[in-house]
Amino acid sequence: MNEIKAIERELRIYESLKSRAINAFDKGNYEQSLDYIYLSATWAWTHPFGIWYDDKLEYLLSKVGKCVISSEMCNYERQFNKEREEHKKVVYIASHLHDVGGHSRVINEWVDMLSGTFREQCVYITNVMNTPTVSPYIINCLKQKGVRIVQLPWYDSYVNRIKEIAYWIKKDSPDIILLFIHPNDIIALSAVLSFDNRPYTVLFNHADHVFWLGRNAIDLF
């Protein structure tokens, strides 16, 4: 009985946070809405209570993205031509990189694996948990392989970082996006969801046993 009450309490907290995210959006306060979406996803991720995804929360995340990113930016069109086919690009989006641990190491290994297929490889780091990525070993390994790294300012607002990710996606025009993100990465997903015709998107889901965001932003996981 105590376990049931605990689960019910955790669910009520989640629904309260999500409701606050919706209310903030309705008032046009997109940064506050993103704050509550982040808190909702983080709570559900770290307090398992039987929900593994939430389409309504992701829909809200997509609406925020479309509101903060210009319609011109959201219109993603990849040009198909011979030169483009010979210069394919892949973009990895990571929430954070670490010198120790398997998640970042997988990105490093995928860079090696895909080097024969893609002429250009880039890594965007969202720093969604608002702490800087200070991982000299893995970053140096990637740079030595010719990978361009874009690290978003960890101290900047969620809205500004969403705009910046969208800008780089539009500018780089990748053939494929590979998501190596935490289950609560509202920055990466809001940006990806904002595009009307986004690149083929794959999620490397290292947390499919708990709540995670991204089900509606990906083509394969």
Class of domain 1-221: alpha beta
The pLDDT of 7-13, averaged and rounded, is 93
More confident residue, 17 or 4: 17
What does the pLDDT look like over 53-104, one tens digit per residue? Answer: 999 999 999 999 999 997 656 666 655 444 555 669 999 999 999 998 888 8
pLDDT at position 81: 46
- Amino acid found at 42: T
Report residue 93 as tokens. 């989006």
How confident is the model at residue 186, as a pLDDT? Answer: 98
Average pLDDT for 116-121: 93
In 10 A of CB 169, how many CB atoms?
A: 24
Q: Using an 8 Å Cβ cutoff, are 146 and 122 in contact? A: no
In the predicted model, is pLDDT for residue 131 greater than 60? yes
Give the model confidence (pLDDT) of 137-169 as tens digits.
999 999 999 999 999 999 999 999 999 999 999
Q: pTM above 0.75?
A: yes
Check if the beta carbon of residue 35 is closer than 8 Å to that of residue 18.
no
Domain boundaries, the chain: 1-221
* Of residues 41 and 72, more confidently modeled: 41
| Weakest-pLDDT range from 64-73, 122-131, 204-213 | 64-73
- Residue 75 per-residue DSSP state: -
Q: What is the pLDDT of residue 73?
A: 64
Return left, alpha or beta for 211; rule: phi > 0 is left, psi -120 to 50 is alpha, else beta.
beta
Does the structure show a pLDDT above 50 at 21?
Answer: yes
Residue 57 CA to residue 30 CA, distance in Å, equals 14
Average pLDDT (185-211) is 92
Q: What percent of the chain is modeled with pLDDT above 70?
A: 91
